[in-house]
Amino acid sequence: MPNFLRLMALFFIPAALAACAVPGPIEPTADPYTWLEDVTGDRSLAWVRERNAESAQVLAAGPEFPATRSRLLEIMNSTDKIPAIRRIGGHMYNLWRDDTHKRGLWRRTKLADYAKAQPAWESVIDLDALGRAENENWVWGGATCLPGPTPAQQDRCMIALSRGGADAAVYREFDLASRSFVAGGFALPEAKSRVEWIDRDMLFVGTDFGPGSMTESGYPRLVKEWKRGTPLASARTVLEADVKDVYTSAHVDPTPGFERRFLSRARDFYRTELFLQSSGQLVPIDKPAEALFWAHRQWAFLQPRSAYTVDGTTYAAGSLLAADFDAFMRGERKFQVLFEPTATRALVRGGIAFTRSHVLLTLQDNVASRIEELHYANGRWQRREVKSPFPGRLSVTSLNDRAQADDALAESYLVDYEDFLTPATLYLARTGSDRPQGLKRSPSFFDAQGMRVEQHFAVSKDGTRVPYFVVLPRGAVADGTNPTVLYGYGGFQISQQPFYSSAFGSAWLAKGGAFVVANIRGGGEFGPDWHTAAIKANKQRSYDDFIAVAQNLIARRVTSPRHLGMMGGSNGGLLVGAVLTQRPDLFNAVVCKVPLLDMARFHKLLAGARWVAEYGDPDQPAQWAYISRYSPYHNVRADVAYPQVLFTTSTRDDRVHPAHARKMAARMLEQGHRVLYYENIEGGHGGAADNAQRANLQALEFSYLWQRLGPAAAPTPTSAVSRQ
């Protein structure tokens, strides 16, 4: 097991590394690169191909690139990986990719057979064969399946097929029994649709019904009931949101005796209005807008994101409350507290799962995972901590089929464990027992002998202690020369827990590099307060925390600016972009993946309006005043020396617009900075559509990192940005 050291690092940073003054707001100016927002325009794609060729020439020409790409692809295509499974009816389903099934094979087996070393898989959908037959570049988008009282009656799914990996997908009805698409069945054209089965002949559907039917974020504004055999245009509207809302959705609970239909309207990324459909009417569920809500059998569960005061009692942000569902709907607020956070323990946002009679909680204890089982008996909730590996990351998946009254797996669940040096192990557990069955264990894809993991704390600009993990290669000493990659995210209450990365292990740690994960504010490591401390006007705290971790690594001589790089994607791409413009002197490499960077226009590009609740609205002068201070696209300057940056994105990313990376790269090139840029034509927000594309992209990134941070690394910029 890794050796975790919980030590507070109190280092004084030399004056040369002191944090810079916060600038005043930047006035928006004419943007000369809006033409790069034309995703598939001839001029844009010509620019992309030219940049790709330049980057490939620099990064793929090195002697280690082919071997790294080959090894990464070998790992991704390995038949020894744990097949991730999902229960549908009486089978366990898995989407499998390897060198034969590049886009994926959707297949199934029984649980008892899955436990064998070589399960007998039955092919259900061959994505590669389907794509060839239909002349489409299909990428798996998921399956929404019909619940039923018996496995045999759970024989229909709505299959989502994405072109090139985009979020938008085509939906088609599929018959699991015959393993074929249903002729004349339910079907939806390409859109960011949402579907849910009401019964065998009725769907809740949200899709692009025509002009005005989508929100500004690009998601369905309407939920309709669509009856089999009728045109989509005749579907009956049951919920309508405002165009400035984020999306609408529906959920059907098929539990016998507790059948319920819920509809939801997301006002922003965190605030939702929830309704119970009863006798054809929508009954509002009176909950705090930011609180998560679940119904399970006779119970209602509430997880507030901020302090919740009701009937004279205040419940802490991040707590979990339980009440009788019917009483709650009548207006009673008699809660029992199932979890209350502490300074170091938090309930993962949404970290709740249900067997038939138990509630399973996934907790974070100083960023590592624990599991608790809760059971209501003798008039009270009884709590039991599940014995499981620690410290690492645990994920829990219930196998309970709510629709079945007689389900042999009603009290069973899967537990997946991994940490930085321990590959994933999958267990089959049962409530009330500490004797889980080991189902699968992933092989070790790199030799971890002699490597070690430590947890440390940096002190941020405002005095907040910020934890981070360091994974050190064998033989590492504190001499300031370790090639080190600092990774972070810091947004949307998403936690960065320990995880096993075969790519980083084989292509970085095994070569002598160190890997660091920063648990900065904006994430959910210590509950919702850790997140809300770094949103909107306080977003700079995420960047201050990340900078503090970098400074702490340098002060402890784990590395030095010459050998320190940073990496982040999506919101993490914004993170490293902002830190690049504020403290270029701390880093010698930046991998900025599928990023947000133009914070003046993020809300006008694709799904960007969805994230105003996280960043603020740049159209409001008071909010642009603080956004403009960190917006990377508006703070990069020609008179500052920056380390060379590698930007990566995807043409088919219809979540974060590729223009963010395109325009930032173009502006930096115009200013005379060294920039590498690589845009995968397919891949969606994940950056790649299959294992070959993913291996190629990662090999480019590791080639870049080793060139920039290895023993022959060039010097970094020598001073922080003057931001007066």
Question: Where in the sequence numbering do the catalytic residues fall?
Answer: 570, 685
Hey, what are 369's tokens? Answer: 């995972």
Tracing tokens 């609970």 back to the chain, one arrives at 253
Which H or E run includes 237?
strand 236-240
Cβ–Cβ under 8 Å, residues 489 and 543: no
Cβ–Cβ under 8 Å, residues 238 and 263: yes
Tracing tokens 């699968």 back to the chain, one arrives at 440
Q: Compute the residue count for the chain.
A: 724
Nearest to 544 by CA among 459, 484, 611, 470: 459
Tracing tokens 């799962």 back to the chain, one arrives at 353
Nearest to 273 by CA among 261, 290, 258: 290
Query: What is d(CA 282, CA 409) in angstroms, rounded to the nearest whole number?
Result: 33
Query: What is d(CA 85, CA 687) in angstroms, rounded to the nearest whole number?
Result: 23
In sequence order, what DSSP letters do the residues of 123-187 get, joined into one string?
Answer: EEEEHHHHHHHHT--EEEEEEEE---SSGGG--EEEEEEEETT-S-EEEEEEETTTTEEPTT--E
User: Based on the number of CB atoms within 10 Å of its own CB, is 191 exposed (0-12), middle (13-18) or buried (19 or more)?
Assistant: buried
- What is the number of other CB atoms lying within 10 angstroms of the CB of residue 304? 22
CA distances from 56 to 221, 446, 701, 703 (A): 42, 26, 11, 10
Cβ–Cβ under 8 Å, residues 664 and 676: no
Cβ–Cβ under 8 Å, residues 240 and 222: yes
